[in-house]
A = this chain, B = another copy of it.
């Protein structure tokens, strides 16, 4: 969505955005990472499809159903989940261009609640947060995030708080967001 010069109101960040835009680079990096994990038989973690509400489906031929009207739905869960070393893995991934803080309005309340629930039931749950201006990607464990949200009236995560409380995820060319290494050091120490 392009902000034309004639635009009068600011575009609200809670609008559904063009899937080709925001968050695309982190998503591509995570898709590649998860594919490498799958190929190397390390873990089975997938991005969930985007939830939509179907309104109309045409059948122009027997070989293909064509969706002609549908709308994006607010997600009720996080985007990524799967299994690693027998544990349920569940996380949301967000990217911000803001170098000093991350607005929590970018995470739906349903997703926060989902992280709380899966953490309570024993999943390894977390938020992956990238500060794109700094080229840094952090893993914030769900309990750390939820403690911040419960204790604070702030509606954003300051960058300094993230640096102090989260875990920098190593980057390498083949595995651009190597969050399993981070999980290994946090939860699977030998």
In this complex, the interface size class of chain A, counting residues with CB under 8 Å from chain B, is 35 or more
Query: Which stretch of A74-82, A99-107, A158-166 is in the interface?
Result: A74-82
Q: Which A32-59 residues have a C-beta within 8 angstroms of B?
A: 38, 41, 43-44, 46, 48-52, 54, 57, 59
Complex copy number for this chain: 2
Asked whether, in the complex, the Cβ of A82 is within 8 Å of the Cβ of B48, the reply is: no
Could you show 20 A-B contacts with beta carbons less than 8 Å apart? A16-B64, A19-B57, A41-B117, A41-B120, A43-B121, A48-B49, A49-B49, A49-B51, A50-B54, A52-B52, A52-B67, A65-B71, A65-B72, A66-B71, A67-B67, A67-B70, A67-B72, A83-B122, A87-B122, A88-B123
Asked whether, in the complex, the Cβ of B87 is within 8 Å of the Cβ of A117, the reply is: no
Given A1-B59, A49-B52, A90-B83, A65 and B16 touching (CB < 8 A)? yes
For the complex, give the distance between the alpha carbons of A1 and B62 in Å.
9
